[in-house]
Structure 1
């Protein structure tokens, strides 16, 4: 099956689909940093990835593209792809800042309108299936007198000839060591069902969608269990299993050897010199498949915390396990530290820091490194540790700056942001295999037993 990835970011969704045996045609991403990460890892064949993109540069140059400009310049080409039925699947996660409950939920945020550009491409290339991933907030009303964005998208898809199947999914069911709650939409073109859906009214199709969505979700979760067994993964992968070998200190708090960071020409930043205290668990084996035992991945630069920050982080790590402090402030790992605790004990108004629990999956990885504190070291995570929690393999390298601020933030997409915005590759691979190997059988056997699904 051939796919196009829209708003592809650094390539998490594409990587998963390529691993599932799909053929990548194009990946559309506006930001050059994020696109260069995808390009350097997924377009050129390598020992780590033999199934890479089959990009036809004669029509769409191999570079970052703004989807508005693409629709304007390549409308005829995209429409021709639809006429020839070249594309089987369109996927993507349109920017979600306007929908996220963590933000201002601004209905006029121009990034919220990009989801409709996604639908314009779908209308032109007419894929058999679509996958859209977004934040759970897309299912909530932004204005009390208007439907949720998710409902509007479903209506538009029905108008375009697709049955929308929607549900909320936790990425951890695919073996991702992270409780990442996301809205998933699977669109099925009417003729793939061979029913008379096109003759029904929109409300009737919506009713079918609402009836089928929980059934498809249940079947998907059953498949996720099989997927994890196929990968040799346990039912739940925790933080400790994902990043234990990238610690800077041993249990006696002695510091492991460090070297100057290899990704920056500065003697002020350091990284660990080798993987330490290695426990060869199934998750690590999966992410390091094909790599030498002593292979040290990129993205290990440690934050250069000042003394005051180190003292604050050390106190948080001590307090979060202290019975008295836990009772006094209701402190818990994996949840936002309470405002009274931060103001009275840490003397800060920052409200988003969470402490990881090594025995559980992480909470949602975001684009802000300060959102997560290591489970037993007084520091934030490295880019590679973020990538491990997102299920990126160790050979995957991220391009661009580590972090940015101020005016540069408007134009660059630092590595932390790329990783935090990505669809976890393991989840993407599982979704791809479900559509490729299971969905048509489910349509035929359960929902339309009297017709033959394609």
Structure 2
């Protein structure tokens, strides 16, 4: 089975971060969906026109083609640690729409991505959502493994932890992809720092179009610039006069605790008195990866979104760099808000690529098994 013959269906694809990694690995993505029109337009430009702009609950399951692999991450706000974790949130129920599609299509492998909050979230009856999903997937014929991965361990300049549920028809344990990067393990490459992620980009311009005037200083920059001589969306986000004053006081790697009381808002003073919220009003540490990028990275009060050197918020293009989207990836959006939604909700393509390369051997082993006229996989084919 050649890579480009492995058929993939993408669910809740957004602008295509998860799908892009599989496309880069040579998989054939034949169908995808998302409810956000701007995300679908972005997907069409960068990945393919096979995406359907529709609510998955309204899609005729018979219209979804058969595939070897299903990938996707249902909306995570209902499970996010910064949300209310409302068991009645309809977005939480969409995880079961994913299950319905898997049950209908019956792929050999599925990959389900979500925030770590899903592990502790509960259904309306008090049971754990992830336990219910595990049981439900097993009932429709899948062997399940669950892994929590940090994107920084796979070459993404962002400490973004996500849960992956992997189901397979082969009745084998599928382990996590081998880590390529580490904060401390000298046998692996070092985590990609914020400086390495974006330091080769020129300062923002009015139209966001910038040519490269600096040579790439590391492997990551070369990878991001591989097919480009210039890039777009390098526009400084708007900041209010109050935010501009606040930003000046935050040191690299610092947060709201650096802001003098005399310029602090009531909200900042409340944070100071109650503690926690490490990334709030955070400025990037140039020596470390960024924290988790969210859908509000144009604002200082949600996440670590202040440039490590310049007194400004990071740009959309810099956000794309922190998510490991290449510089030739173009975003389509009719609103400023949806630029940030598309980027912040995406799965980092480099993390997706790690999964795509890793799962290839399981599908190859299945092909070898069929060629050998045996119904069971040879475990030796799956050794890492």
- RMSD (Å), alpha carbons: 2.8
Looking at structure 1, the residues matched to 7 and 317 of structure 2 have their Cα atoms a distance apart, in angstroms, of 30
Unpaired runs of 5+ residues, structure 1, are 45-54, 56-61, 196-211, 227-232, 249-257, 262-270, 321-331, 405-413, 445-449
Residues 28-55 of structure 1: per-residue CA shift (max 9 Å, x gap): 10110011110111117xxxxxxxxxx4
Deviation at 1:382, TM superposition (A): 0.6
Looking at structure 2, the residues matched to 384 and 376 of structure 1 have their Cα atoms a distance apart, in angstroms, of 16
Deviation at 1:259, TM superposition (A): 4.6
1:396 equivalent among 301, 312, 329:
329
Alignment correspondent of 1:37: 42
After superposition, residues 52-451 of structure 1 pair within 5 angstroms as 55=50, 63-70=52-59, 74-78=60-64, 81=65, 86-142=66-122, 146-189=126-169, 192-193=170-171, 216-217=175-176, 220-221=177-178, 224=180, 234-248=189-203, 259-261=205-207, 271=208, 273-291=210-228, 295-317=229-251, 333=254, 337-338=256-257, 345-349=263-267, 352-369=280-297, 370=299, 371=303, 372-401=305-334, 403-404=336-337, 414-437=338-361
Q: 3-state DSSP class of the match of 1:112?
A: helix
Q: 3-state DSSP class of the match of 1:120?
A: helix
Q: Counting helix residues as a fraction of each chain, which structure ranks higher?
A: 1
Q: 3-state DSSP class of the match of 1:316?
A: coil
Runs of 4+ in 1 over 4 A off after TM superposition: 340-345, 438-442
Residues 234-273 of structure 1: per-residue CA shift (max 9 Å, x gap): 431111011002252xxxxxxxxx7532xxxxxxxxx475
Q: 3-state DSSP class of the match of 1:393?
A: coil
| CA distance 1:354–1:441, change in 2 (3 Å) | farther
Unpaired runs of 5+ residues, structure 2, are 1-5, 183-187, 272-279, 369-375
* Partners of 1:342 and 1:348 within 8 A in 2: no
Whose radius of gyration is greater, 1 or 2?
1
TM-score of the two chains, using structure 1 as the length reference: 0.70
> How many residues align structurally?
347
Looking at structure 2, the residues matched to 145 and 259 of structure 1 have their Cα atoms a distance apart, in angstroms, of 52
Pairing 1:10–2:15 present: yes
* Partners of 1:6 and 1:90 within 8 A in 2: yes
| CA distance 1:343–1:431, change in 2 (3 Å) | farther
Q: 3-state DSSP class of the match of 1:381?
A: coil
* Partners of 1:244 and 1:278 within 8 A in 2: no
Residues 161-209 of structure 1: per-residue CA shift (max 9 Å, x gap): 10110021101111000000001111112xx23x8xxxxxxxxxxxxxx
TM-score of the two chains, using structure 2 as the length reference: 0.82
Q: 3-state DSSP class of the match of 1:246?
A: coil
Residues 366-404 of structure 1: per-residue CA shift (max 9 Å, x gap): 001213111111111110000000000000001104533
